[in-house]
Amino acid sequence: MNPYVGHPNPLKEGQELFRKGLLSEAVLALEAEVLKNPDNAEGWRLLGIAHAENDDDQQAIAAMMRAHEAGPTNLEVLLALGVSHTNELEQAAALKYLYGWLRHHPKYRTLANPELSDSLYYADVARLFNEAAEMSPEDADVHIVLGVLYNLSREYDKAISSFQRALKLKPQDYSLWNKLGATQANSVQSADAILAYQQALDLKPNYVRAWANMGISYANQVFTSASLFTTPLLVPSLAFVRQ
């Protein structure tokens, strides 16, 4: 019943719908695209982004896996998979794709250790990304990955610092503002999280995930002020998409 099946250019239509923030419609158009061209890595990638921004990491992972099969070295896909698996609290899978990002990056691949490929430990991957950050302190993407990694280990202060450094380099990245807000919320800093979500929504008013996370933070503030809860009501999820 997909109305975009048979559309002459469902990929272009999906891109335009996504730009407008009409995520459910964008998903339909992009699904029509990958039905038409099942090996189109870009179609699968955009479909994964649309699902992630629509707050559905399971569907995002499914689409990004197809994008990864079609383009195994795509850095945006690898990072998006790392973020979504982090949201799902799947550490081993998150480490696999985040390390894959480093291993396939033309600037940082020399840091990769072939011996780690079959046995990844958080401390080893975090150390390598810290080395990458020292090598290129002006590369926002390295700080983004570090922020995601620190969320895996629940070192929220370090994650917040990494995302803030990245935002100084990419202040117009709405998904990055949401990552900062989600991390602050997980660190029981709801007021700061709301400010970060507002920045994300100022940049993209139809950003579903930021609206959902904003609602959670407001609810947490109410419950905390009433002394009913001392920890967040719900754990907000990180949003990529490239990303």
pLDDT at position 118 is 62
- Phi and psi at residue 190, in whole multiples of 5°? -60, -40
CB-based contact 27:51 (threshold 8 Å): yes
Q: How deeply is 169 buried, as exposed, middle or buried, from its count of CB atoms within 10 A (0-12, 13-18, 19+)?
A: middle
Residue 63 has pLDDT above 80, yes or no: yes
Question: For the domain that residue 42 is a member of, what is the CATH number?
Answer: 1.25.40.10
Q: Considering the domain boundaries, does residue 157 fall inside one?
A: no
Domain that holds residue 43: 1-72
Encode pLDDT of 144-163 as tens digits. 999 999 999 999 999 999 99
In the chain, the amino acid numbered 56 is: D
In a domain, 27, yes or no: yes
Taking a C-beta distance cutoff of 8 angstroms, is the pair 126, 95 a contact? no
**Which band of pLDDT confidence, cut at 50, 70 and 90, is reported for residue 236?**
very low
pLDDT higher than 80, residue 23 = yes
pLDDT confidence tier of residue 55, bands split at 50, 70 and 90: confident
Task: Examine residue 57 and state whether it is found in any structural domain, yes or no.
Answer: yes
Q: What is the mean pLDDT of residues 186-200?
A: 93
Q: Please count the structural domains in the chain.
A: 1
Largest CA distance in the chain: 57
Q: What is the pLDDT of residue 219?
A: 84
Q: What is the mean pLDDT of residues 206-218?
A: 90
**What is the full DSSP assignment across 20-77?**
TT-HHHHHHHHHHHHHH-TT-HHHHHHHHHHHHHTT-HHHHHHHHHHHHHH-TT-HHH
Q: With respect to residue 60, please indicate whether it lies within any of the assigned structural domains.
A: yes
138 within domain boundaries: no
Report if residue 195 sits inside a domain: no
Task: Report the pLDDT value the prediction gives residue 225, as an integer from 0 to 100.
Answer: 57
pLDDT, position 226: 52
Q: Tell me the helix, strand and coil percentages in the chain, rounded to 5.
A: 70, 0, 30
Asked, for residue 145, whether it belongs to a domain, the answer is: no
Q: What is the per-residue burial (b if ≥16 Cβ within 10 Å, else e) of 91-130? A: eeebbbbbbbbbbebeebeeebeeebeeebeeeebbebbe
Instruction: Classify residue 133: in a domain, yes or no.
Output: no
